[in-house]
Amino acid sequence: MSKRLGLLMVGHIDPKSQHIAGDYPDLFAVLLRDHNLDLIRYDLDRGAFPDRVDECDGWICSPSRSSVYDDEPWIADAESLHREFIAREIPYVGVCFGHQLLAQALGTAVERATDGWGVGVQSYEIATPQCWMGAAPPSRFSLLASHQDQVTALPNDAELLFTSSSGYCPIAGMTVGNRAWTIQPHPEFIAPLADHLLAGRMELIGADKVLHARESLTQPLDQPLVAQWIANFFRDV
Please check the confidence at residue 214 and state whether its pLDDT lies above 90. yes
Which residues are within 8 A (CB) of 160 and not within 5 positions of it... i.e. 6 or more apart? 127, 128, 154, 171, 173, 174
Q: Answer for the pair 52, 19: CB distance below 8 angstroms, yes or no.
A: no
Please provide the average confidence, as pLDDT, over all residues in the chain.
97
Q: What is the rounded distance in angstroms from the CA atom of residue 142 to the CA atom of residue 166?
A: 12
Average pLDDT over residues 197-207: 96
Q: What is the rounded distance in angstroms from the CA atom of residue 108 to the CA atom of residue 142?
A: 26
Which residues participate in catalysis according to the annotation? 96, 186, 188
Domains for the chain: give ranges and CATH numbers: 3-236 (3.40.50.880)
Please check the confidence at residue 195 and state whether its pLDDT lies above 80. yes
Average pLDDT over residues 171-196: 98
From residue 153, give the alpha-carbon distance in Å to each of 74, 150, 186.
24, 9, 20
Q: pLDDT per residue over 60-117, tens digit each?
A: 999 999 999 999 999 999 999 999 999 999 999 999 999 999 999 999 999 999 989 9
* Model confidence band, residue 237 (pLDDT cutoffs 50, 70, 90): confident
* Model confidence band, residue 13 (pLDDT cutoffs 50, 70, 90): very high
From residue 100, give the alpha-carbon distance in Å to each of 51, 86, 133, 144.
23, 15, 22, 17
Average pLDDT over residues 116-135: 97
**pLDDT at 102 (0 to 100):** 98
Angle, alpha carbons 37-41-46 (nearest 5°): 160
Please check the confidence at residue 15 and state whether its pLDDT lies above 80. yes
**88: exposed, middle or buried (Cβ count in 10 Å: 0-12, 13-18, 19+):** exposed
Average pLDDT over residues 167-196: 97
**pLDDT at 1 (0 to 100):** 74
150: three-class secondary structure by DSSP = strand
pTM of the model: 0.97
From residue 205, give the alpha-carbon distance in Å to each of 57, 121, 148, 172, 180.
38, 15, 9, 20, 31
Q: What is the dihedral of CA 22, 36, 5, 227, to 10 degrees?
A: -60
Using alpha carbons, select from 212, 216, 180 the residue that is nearest to residue 94: 180
